[in-house]
Structure 1
Amino acid sequence: MAQLFAENVISKIYRTATLSIPQFDRSAEGLSKLTPEGYPEYVPHDGPQAGHYVLREPEFWTCGFFPGTLHSLLERLVRYPQSVSLPPRGGQVDISYLRSNVLKLCSSWSEALHAMADRKDTHDIGFIVMPALQKNWELTGNQRSLESILRAADSLASRFVPSAGSIRSWDKRIQGNLQITCEEENIILIIDSMCNLDLLYYAASHSSQGRRLYDIATSHASTLMRTHLRPESNSSAPEDAYHGQWYSTYHVVNVDPANGKVKRKFTAQGYSDSSTWARGQAWGILGYAQTYMWTKDRKFLQASCGLAEYFLYRLETSPSCVETIAGEGLVDDASSRHHRGRYVPLWDFDAPIDDVANPTRDSSAGAIAANGMLVLSQGLAGLGYDGLAVRFRTAAMDIMRDLLNFALAPEMARFVQSIDGGVHVEDVTPGKTFEGLLKFGTANNNEHAPKRYANHGLVYGDYYLMEFGNRLLRMGFD
């Protein structure tokens, strides 16, 4: 897993952070008052902006992931400096200097997130504030970050509809094949919402209103077990697998606000209403694993196990065209138990293969699922289910190894020490730039989507790549 901690990963994050703040001055005391020009969303593989991040406004749902990635780097520099490998090149890059700069950059990149905490128009407030502000609070003791988390939790809780037992995900949905606009008659719920519950549970542990926030999160998780999880056969389960109920997932379910009864199940980002959209399945694995860790209610652990096993089953049974012949220079290639590409998921497990030579994938789904399986393995180990814990931990490592082998951008970057004692970042091969870490992400490939785009780097894929490395460090892996 050495590539998770390589200079290439660290230097790319640092470069993106500095390039998006043109006024960045290494010695500027007022850096935190500067704001980025925009927040990274995706990196096209080709076209006029190939290799460079497309930026979005801070209100967009993905705006919290790059600040979160930057804070993941700060966590390594503060808690695990031994994991940061910076080979000398024209002079050794000083870790303390880099840590000081990254701390300033984190402050600057987090500034706009505090204002987002009062938004009641989105369920994605967890994605917006938690990746950066949780670490900012825990690493620096910044009380403002904790206060913003608590406000954001109240904002999310305001979207809870008690009669339906769930938190409204979207206020409306308009796409090519449907239109849902009336909030009085509809509550739109998406599987992604499971990963926003972490905000409520975290705030509950820091708030005098903890019971209310805890109960809202738990009610929502229970509701989605009923509305979004589809039972699947486990007759093909290997001996060491989880033999409880397996599940696939619906992406979107519309329910009646009066009683929570299901009105319609459909997709907004997957191939079809009944298909298994890979990233939605991954959100479910991670979200239910996190929910179990907060509640210790085994039904949530079982849900995550069932979702994870079905995800692995679909990886293993994907068409042979997902595999490519392993070449030299791959991550842990000698111990790899599969041809590369097998564990980099297709964007939707049921979508027709559009190009046998290069099928459309979603590397971000793999990164999210790998994180979920690591959390799941910890929950299982805590209960003494050592065999299943090893299974899901091994699966998480297999997925991440394959992501690094297959999807890590070959366009590498590195630090160079400046004459004035600072550092800047350059491409290892001049003119070969890719600002993201992982390629082969898919934001939305649904034919009815307002914007259809696939085959690119994704900021949340990179965030969960970094988080996977940090989870390994927290678990004591060297």
Structure 2
Amino acid sequence: MKKTFNLFLVLSTITLSTFAKPVQNDDPSLLWFKKTTEVIHFQLNKAAQTYKPGKNPRSVNPDGTVRLAGLTDWTTGFFPGSLWYGYELTGDKTLANEAKNFTLALDSIRNIKNTHDVGFMLYCSYGNAYRITGDKIYLPALADGAANLYARFNPTVGTIRSWDFAWLHYPVIIDNMMNLEYLYWSANEFKKPEYANAASIHALTTIKNHFRKDYSSYHLVDYDAKTGKIIHKGTHQGVTDDSAWARGQAWGLYGYTMCYANTKNPKFLQQAEHIASFIMNHPRMPKDKIPVWDFDVHNAMDTEVLAPRDASAAAVIASALLDLSTQVKDGKKYADYAEDILKSLSSDAYLAKPGENSYFLLKHSVGAFLYNSEIDTPLDYADYYYLEALKRYASIKKIQI
């Protein structure tokens, strides 16, 4: 298959005056980007040929087999979304065709009502499909999924319920912030202003109850559904209830940056910048800016055995910081930090060689350390947000091929 690198497709939405002139991808400073795009092109094509729609690659098990994501798996929308981003980054129409096949295989997710994760599942797949193609074939599933997500909003609590687990009352996790984008988009697309209102109320309630004085975040807050009172603050992911689980901090940064983009509410921008400062200035952030799985792991900087890195958190942080850099006057500090992350992720230490890593892009992510699940493994959402960050980087830098 002939390799193409038509990055004009990604230069659509983001501009930043800091970067004045377009650059060519043969610029010596962008050789890392060209190499990365070549790896992406190869790996995504091979992955699409290897896996079957409806059974999407999620991670790699300790025995080397691939863990697949079925139709009810919260991560199942990321692989189709990665194919869509791969198409934008390479211009390869084969990837677009594969992306369509893998996306349409998720149609029944429109009927899922028991989780907030329909945002990840549908907006990352169907949402990108519609954004790129404009094909209305993707709208019915998006409309149904958004209605089901909105139905989980409780105005008394002021949040969207995350899980329906029997041992919790009304749990809300920081991850929920990511799925608000689906509601903001749907409010506009389907003329449902109540969706956007619910998203904003959720974000404001989360500022009040999820964050500590240093702007680190709890993973979970459990509420009384009838009164809205807080029952418990804790974690299902971090070292302790009071620790700063790395991907959770990334979710918050991304979520509030996105909320500000959709509402222009200065409270959301202020929150995003506070979270960014917490992350960027954290004393336990490694030199390569790829965080360990929890910032509060004991001896986190001394041993990889105790503190494996989480490339998925780094990818989300990079994508969020690039978005944030376009929304503030002094955005260069955020863009520069994100560029450092992307260069680290694109190095041999984290980026797979063509044909390796079961055709995933990134190595060294952590899913759920406390449950001994997906530790130091590729993850589909690490790849997704890495690709999104690369697309945003190309747009900001005005890369031309």
Name the TM-score class by shorter chain. 0.7 to 0.9
In structure 2, how many angstroms separate the alpha carbons of the residues matched to 1:145 and 1:407? Answer: 38
> Are 2:89 and 2:391, in contact at CA under 8 Å, matched by a contact in 1?
yes
4+ runs deviating over 6 angstroms: none
1:190–1:252 contact (8 Å) kept in structure 2: yes
Question: Is 2:350–2:364's contact at 8 Å kept on the other side of the alignment?
Answer: no
2:257–2:268 Cα contact (<8 Å) kept: yes
Q: Which of these residues, 37, 50, 56, is aligned with residue 69 of structure 2?
A: 56
Q: Which residue of 1 aligns with 2:311?
A: 363
Secondary structure in structure 2 of the residue aligned to 1:259: coil
1:152-191 matches, within 5 Å, as 152-172=145-165, 179-180=167-168, 186-191=169-174
Matched residues in 2 for 1:258 and 1:434: separation? 47
1:351 match: secondary structure? coil
- When residues 172 and 283 of structure 1 are mapped into structure 2, their CA distance, relative to the original with a 3 A threshold, is same
- State which of 80, 88, 112 in structure 2 corresponds to 1:119: 112
Residue 156 (structure 1) shift: 0.2
Matched, 1:305 2:273: yes
8 Å Cα contact 1:167-1:220 kept in structure 2? yes
Measured after TM superposition, the shift of residue 165 of structure 1 is 0.9
* One-letter identity of the residue aligned with 2:67: V
Which residue does the alignment assign to 1:261? Answer: 229
| TM, length-normalised to structure 2 | 0.86
CA distance in 1 between counterparts of 2:211 and 2:99 reads: 37
Question: Counterpart in 1 of 2:368?
Answer: 444
CA contact (8 A) 1:254 1:264 kept: yes
Matched, 1:13 2:44: yes
Q: Distance in 1 between matches of 2:63 and 2:340?
A: 35
State whether residues 279 and 364 of structure 1, in contact with CA within 8 Å, keep that contact through their aligned partners in structure 2.
Answer: yes
Q: CA deviation at 1:114?
A: 2.1
1:228 paired residue among 199, 206, 210:
210
- How far, CA to CA, are the matches of 2:228 and 2:389 in structure 1? 36
Partners in 2 of 1:261 and 1:2 — Cα distance? 54
Q: Aligned-pair distance for 1:48?
A: 2.7
Q: Which has the higher helix share?
A: 2
Name the % identity: 31
List aligned pairs for 1:19-418, cutoff 5 A: 19-21=50-52, 35-36=53-54, 38-44=55-61, 47-49=62-64, 53-77=66-90, 81=91, 98-99=92-93, 101-172=94-165, 179-180=167-168, 186-209=169-192, 211-232=193-214, 247-314=215-282, 317-318=283-284, 322=286, 341-353=287-299, 356-358=303-305, 359-380=307-328, 385=329, 387=330, 389-405=331-347, 407-410=349-352, 412-413=353-354
> What is the count of residue pairs matched by the alignment?
366
Distance 1:6 1:158, change over 3 A: same
Query: Normalised by the size of structure 1, how large is the TM-score?
Result: 0.73
CA distance in 2, matches of 1:375, 1:103: 24
Shift of residue 2, structure 1, vs aligned partner: 4.2
Q: Is 1:463 the equivalent of 2:384? A: yes
Deviations 1:66-106 (A, max 9, x none): 000001112234xxx4xxxxxxxxxxxxxxxx41x223211
Residue in structure 2 matched with residue 29 of structure 1 by the alignment: none
Which of 197-206 and 110-119 deviates more?
Answer: 110-119
In 1, the alpha carbon distance for the partners of 2:181 and 2:333 equals 25
CA 1:201–1:357: 2 relative to 1, 3 Å = closer
> How far is the alpha carbon of 1:351 from its aligned partner?
1.2
Q: 2:69 and 2:336 mapped to 1: Cα distance?
A: 36
CA distance in 2, matches of 1:433, 1:204: 39
Where do 5+ consecutive residues of structure 2 fail to align?
Answer: 1-29
Work out the CA distance in 2 between the residues paired with 1:407 and 1:302. Answer: 34
In structure 2, C-alpha distance between the alignment counterparts of 1:121 and 1:271, rounded to whole Å: 27
| Partner of residue 454 from structure 1, selected from 369, 375, 380 | 375
Change in CA separation of 1:407 and 1:460 when aligned onto 2, cut-off 3 Å: farther
Q: Compared with structure 1, are the counterparts of its residues 201 and 2 closer, same or farther at alpha carbon in structure 2 (3 Å cutoff)?
A: farther
Q: Which has the larger radius of gyration?
A: 1
* 1:122 partner amino acid: T
Q: Secondary structure of the residue that 1:126 maps to in structure 2?
A: helix
Task: Note the C-alpha offset of 1:208.
Answer: 2.3
Amino acid at match of 1:438: L
Instruction: Verify the 8 A CA contact 1:228 1:253 in the aligned structure 2.
Output: yes
- The offset of 1:434, in angstroms, is 4.2
Output the amino acid matched with 1:119.
I
Q: Is the 8 A contact 2:174 2:219 kept in 1?
A: yes
